[in-house]
Structure 1
Amino acid sequence: MIRDSRLQPVVSNQSMVLYSSAAGADVITYSNTVNTPVVGPVLTLVKSADHTSASLGETLVYTLIARNEGNAPALTTLVDALPSGVSFVANSVLRDGVPLPGVSPFSGILLGAVAPQTEVRIAFQVIVVSLPPSLELGNRARAVYSFTTPEGRHVEGEVFSNQITVSLLAYKLSILLASSTPTTFVGDAVTFTLRVRNEGTRLMSGILTTLPVPEGAIFLPGSVISDGIYSPDADPDKGIPLPPLDPGKTADISFQVRVVSVPALTAQAVVTYDADGDADGTKSNPVTVAVIQSGLSVSLKVDKYSAAPGDRLGYRFTIRNSGKLAVDAMLAGAIPSGTLFVWDSVHIDGIPQRGVHPGEGIPLGTIRAGSAAVVDLLVSIPAEADILQMPAIQNQGSVEYTFTLPDGRNVRERVRSNTVTTLLFSPVISIEMTGEPPMVEPGGIAEFNIAVTNSGNYPAEVSVIQIIPQGCTLETGKITISVHTVPGSKYSGIVSLGVMDPGQTAQLSYLVRVHPGYMGSVLQGSSTALYLYTIDGRRYSGEARSNSYKLMIEEISE
């Protein structure tokens, strides 16, 4: 009898003797009980596969679990003679998830001492390389173990796993997707080619290939070539049929897309087919085409956002290469319309560029990845610029550049800067002067009227000078500005009109007396308006001359 004890199973034995006594009675006599401890491992081995069926070229994962249900450790080695038709994937053995480099199942996997009530999990990969006639992969693994009894005896044993059978498919369709280049750019045309091959042993029919156009690209109609024949109506998104393929035969399909965005194109084809009357399908390898951007950007700044005719404007272009490729660049269109370039004002990274004219382009040389070039230049606003015809100056530059893709192709592109605007402000002062009567005698009085108008778009402080003709004095000491009379005591050769807003006109009226002894034959001259204004803290001044007046002096006869 064996007593159930996981810690120490024991075999108990007791014998008995049955005999007849002299009195004729049957008698049973029992011996003493002998207990023999049972010491040793109890090893089990379970094998499994991650697939119940596979096809040519497919990878299988076998898993072996060795468990010791006994009460003594066992030095164990696993051996798995792989079935015909598969090949072991080198360095794929894992023990409890830990790689075992250089170990193979057919030469033995050492597990060491498997302790009681523990298990060891072994996994490895094989690939189907041929189709045996039976179209089955069947085998089982073996565990060889040994242990030492308490008396010092060395005991060896072996156990076998369960039988594992994986059925093989008699058909195999391999598909390979490739692109015409591993790198591209926005605007480029990329060709995708799908190669379909029947690697099975039977005819494959009903083949339909679907090649979704990758995000970031558009399909170019008429670009499909199926098995060497142009198919202008075919659309890879909707599926392209192929004729039946005999074993070992290959067919190619290609189409083109236009790249419209970044950062990458990722494509994967799906092929469906009939096999033994059943529909099946498989996916191709994914293909990724990197969309290269130079990463070039141009930012523009101007030193004045408000200016007046005659001002200079300073522009700064910052050309930054935040991409991964070096570029050769040239700045163009740096001079805004309506301005004049200031010669020898171009600086690149602070270095003067003598003789360089932006109208011919400013060579920037090579701008390496992660670096930048800074271009400074000056333009002047003509003093005679008409602010009504040109109320603002806008500028936007562009950089034309070339770079080389990793596949050796050279690409030329253009990038524009932001637009900066400088508003033009200026008062436009005009002055008109009239005098009457047309003929005056010495000692007589003449009346003068002056009209000052600001037809510009900015206010200005305006004063008028030279209002009294030579040989005359201001009569009554009063000047009327519009409806306001200025006392003559304050007149000192200049009349202040104050701040004149755009569109405002001021009228000056005053009387002058010709000196009695004036010997001239005419009173003639003109007046001048002086004006001042400030833009962003910068002070400007100007003057406007009136028309000429002429009054005749009447001779007094004695």
Structure 2
Amino acid sequence: MIRDSRLQPVVSNQSMVLFSSAAGADVITYSNTVHTPVVGPVLTILKSADQTSVSLGETLVYTLIARNEGNAPALATLVDILPSGVSFVANSVLRDGVPLPGVSPSSGIPLGAIAPQGEIRIAFQVIVVSLPPSLELGNRARAVYSFTTSEGRRVEGEVYSNQVSVSLLAYKLSILLAASTPTTFVGDAVTFTLRLRNEGTRLMSGILATIPVPEGAAFLPASVISGGIYSPDAGPAKGIPLPPLAPGKAEDISFQVRVVSVPSSSALTTRAVVTYDTAGDAGETKSNTVTVAVIQSGLSVSLKVDKYSAAPGDQLRYEFTIRNSGNLAVDAMVADAIPTGTLFIWDSVRVDGIPQRGVRPGEGIPLGTIRAGSAAVVDFLVSIPAEANIHHVPAIQNQGSVEYTFTLPDGRNVRERVRSNTVVTLLVSPIISIEMTGEPPLVEPGGIAEFNITVMNSGNYPAEVSVIQIIPQGSTLETGKVTVSVHTLPESTYSGIISLGVMQPGQTIQLSYLVRVHPGYMGNALQGCSTALYLYTIDGRRYSGEARSNSYRLLIEEISE
């Protein structure tokens, strides 16, 4: 008999002898009991798979657990001859989670010494490469082991695992989604292509591919091509149909999108879902995820001007700051830099403070290469013509642009343009005009003549105005008084110049006064003109000007004696 002891199995034996005595009686005689310890390993192999059914192209993971329930260690090697239809994935064998490079199950996986009551776990991967007629993967593993008895004898043995069966699906649709480029930019057209292949043994029908249009892109209508045929009414978001696909056949579905903005993830990302029918069984397959990076040059342009209010004749300095905050170098040129209504001041262009002799902004200001993370500063001068009409041109407005090129990682060269902010310089100035009249047209020596002067500010800015040269040669101011509008200036205030104070835009002031012709004046006429002098300040800058009136002429009547 064998005693039930896991720690020390023992085989016990006892003999008996049955005989008849001389008296004719049957007698039984027992021998002593002999106990023989059983020493050796007891191996078991448990095999399992991570899936019960797989299809063509899928990966299957086999796991084997070798246990020693005996009382002696065993040196074992595991052999697993793989079934038809699968291929071993090289270097996928793990022993207790540790990789065993170069080891394969068909040539033997060394388990080493399995201690009593110990176990070793083996895992490896296979890929389904074909569909056998049975549509089933079935096999079991075998472990070959050896151990040494206490007497020094070497004993060998083998043990088999349980049978593992994995069913194979008779239909398999493999799909691969790809984009025409790994990188793109706003405005670019990207083509997505979905390759479908029937790797099963049954006809697939009712094929419908749904591919969401990525964020930042817009589908281009009539761009769908399904199975080599244009499908103007189809769209990827609502589903693109494909004719039935026979076993072993492949077809493509393609469509285009236009990149309209930079998505939040800075990439176009999408994934296809294909539904189909095989002999009444509905199936669904999801493709890989495709990501197309949206490249941003990161170029920005800011513009500023040194004067936000100016007068005709002023100079303006414009400064462009071109900053490359992207991750690509660009070749750039400033364009549209000179605002309408101004004149460029020759040789005033500077790039990063360095004068650029002979550069004409109308032909573009080259900046060369602006590296990622760097900036360039361009400044120049323009003048406002002194004859500029503030009513026709109330402001000088400028908005420049930068044309630049860069190279995508896929080798394509891209030319783009970015515009600056708009800066406005208000064109302000007083427009002073003066008109002078005198009467009567004929006056005799010693006679009185009356003069009237009208001063007007038809500009859009106030000015401090004075009038000079109001008394014609050969005459004197009568009574020493001048009436400004309705106010009469006292005699003591006149000293050859009449101050009108600050004249607001649109304001008109009238001056009137009398002069007496000198009795002995020998001229034949009183003639001349008057002048208005004016001063004004813009943002701390002081300006002056003068306006000359029309000419007048009063004839002197000769006195006969």
Q: Do the structures match in fold with TM over 0.5? A: yes
Deviation digits for residues 174-214 of structure 1, max 9, x if unmatched? 22223333333333333332222222223333333333333
- Report the alpha carbon displacement of residue 55 of structure 1 after superposing the two structures with TM: 0.6
- Report the alpha carbon displacement of residue 522 of structure 1 after superposing the two structures with TM: 1.8
**What amino acid is the match of 1:196?**
L
1:418 and 2:418 aligned: no
- Report the alpha carbon displacement of residue 99 of structure 1 after superposing the two structures with TM: 5.2
1:266 and 2:269 aligned: yes
Deviation digits for residues 471-518 of structure 1, max 9, x if unmatched? 333333333333333333233322222222111222223333333333
- Report the alpha carbon displacement of residue 146 of structure 1 after superposing the two structures with TM: 8.6
Return the match for 1:509 from 506, 509, 512.
512
Structure 1 residues 264 and 515 mapped into 2: Cα distance closer, same or farther (>3 Å)? same
Q: Which residue of 2 aligns with 1:441?
A: 444
Q: Which residue of 2 aligns with 1:546?
A: 549
- TM-score, length-normalised on structure 2? 0.82
**What amino acid is the match of 2:430?**
P
Q: Which residue of 1 aligns with 2:86?
A: 86
Q: Which residue of 2 aligns with 1:213?
A: 213
Q: Which residue of 1 aligns with 2:257?
A: 257
Structure 1 residues 158 and 378 mapped into 2: Cα distance closer, same or farther (>3 Å)? farther
* Matched position secondary structure for 1:206: strand
Distance 1:310 1:44 in 2: 104
Distance 1:118 1:314 in 2: 87
**What amino acid is the match of 1:295?**
G
Distance 1:314 1:142 in 2: 90
Q: Which residue of 2 aligns with 1:286?
A: 289
* Matched position secondary structure for 2:472: coil
Structure 1 residues 438 and 55 mapped into 2: Cα distance closer, same or farther (>3 Å)? same
Structure 1 residues 76 and 469 mapped into 2: Cα distance closer, same or farther (>3 Å)? farther
Structure 1 residues 477 and 54 mapped into 2: Cα distance closer, same or farther (>3 Å)? same
- Report the alpha carbon displacement of residue 10 of structure 1 after superposing the two structures with TM: 8.2
- Report the alpha carbon displacement of residue 218 of structure 1 after superposing the two structures with TM: 2.7
Structure 1 residues 94 and 510 mapped into 2: Cα distance closer, same or farther (>3 Å)? farther
Deviation digits for residues 2-28 of structure 1, max 9, x if unmatched? 9999xxx6889999xxxxxxxxxxxxx
Whether the aligned pair in 1 keeps the contact of 2:103 and 2:109 (CA below 8 Å) is yes
Distance 2:403 2:78 in 1: 68
Structure 1 residues 476 and 251 mapped into 2: Cα distance closer, same or farther (>3 Å)? same
Q: Which residue of 1 aligns with 2:527?
A: 524
Structure 1 residues 461 and 122 mapped into 2: Cα distance closer, same or farther (>3 Å)? farther
Q: Which residue of 2 aligns with 1:374?
A: 377
- Report the alpha carbon displacement of residue 106 of structure 1 after superposing the two structures with TM: 4.9
- Report the alpha carbon displacement of residue 57 of structure 1 after superposing the two structures with TM: 0.7
Q: Which residue of 2 aligns with 1:137?
A: 137
Q: Which residue of 2 aligns with 1:383?
A: 386
Q: Percent identity between the aligned chains? A: 84
* Matched position secondary structure for 2:479: strand
Distance 2:98 2:449 in 1: 116
Q: Which residue of 1 aligns with 2:498?
A: 495
- Report the alpha carbon displacement of residue 423 of structure 1 after superposing the two structures with TM: 0.9
55-64 vs 541-550, greater mean Cα deviation: 55-64
Q: Which residue of 2 aligns with 1:329?
A: 332
Q: How does 1:33-432 map to 2 (within 5 A)?
A: 47-64=47-64, 80-94=80-94, 101-106=101-106, 123-140=123-140, 163-262=163-262, 263-432=266-435
- Report the alpha carbon displacement of residue 341 of structure 1 after superposing the two structures with TM: 1.4
- Report the alpha carbon displacement of residue 45 of structure 1 after superposing the two structures with TM: 6.0
Distance 1:94 1:550 in 2: 119
Q: Which residue of 2 aligns with 1:485?
A: 488
- Report the alpha carbon displacement of residue 433 of structure 1 after superposing the two structures with TM: 2.0
Distance 2:233 2:254 in 1: 14
Structure 1 residues 151 and 359 mapped into 2: Cα distance closer, same or farther (>3 Å)? same
- TM-score, length-normalised on structure 1? 0.82
Q: Which residue of 2 aligns with 1:472?
A: 475
- Report the alpha carbon displacement of residue 393 of structure 1 after superposing the two structures with TM: 1.0
Report the count of equivalent residues. 543
Whether the aligned pair in 1 keeps the contact of 2:9 and 2:39 (CA below 8 Å) is no
* Matched position secondary structure for 1:248: coil
- Report the alpha carbon displacement of residue 365 of structure 1 after superposing the two structures with TM: 3.6
Structure 1 residues 161 and 453 mapped into 2: Cα distance closer, same or farther (>3 Å)? farther
- Report the alpha carbon displacement of residue 66 of structure 1 after superposing the two structures with TM: 6.3
Whether the aligned pair in 1 keeps the contact of 2:3 and 2:12 (CA below 8 Å) is no
**What amino acid is the match of 1:484?**
H
**What amino acid is the match of 2:326?**
G
Distance 1:55 1:420 in 2: 67
Structure 1 residues 480 and 277 mapped into 2: Cα distance closer, same or farther (>3 Å)? same
Q: What's the RMSD between the two structures over aligned residues?
A: 4.0
Structure 1 residues 372 and 96 mapped into 2: Cα distance closer, same or farther (>3 Å)? farther
Distance 1:13 1:228 in 2: 79
Structure 2 unaligned spans of 5+? 14-31
Structure 1 residues 150 and 472 mapped into 2: Cα distance closer, same or farther (>3 Å)? farther
Q: Which residue of 2 aligns with 1:450?
A: 453
* Matched position secondary structure for 1:359: helix
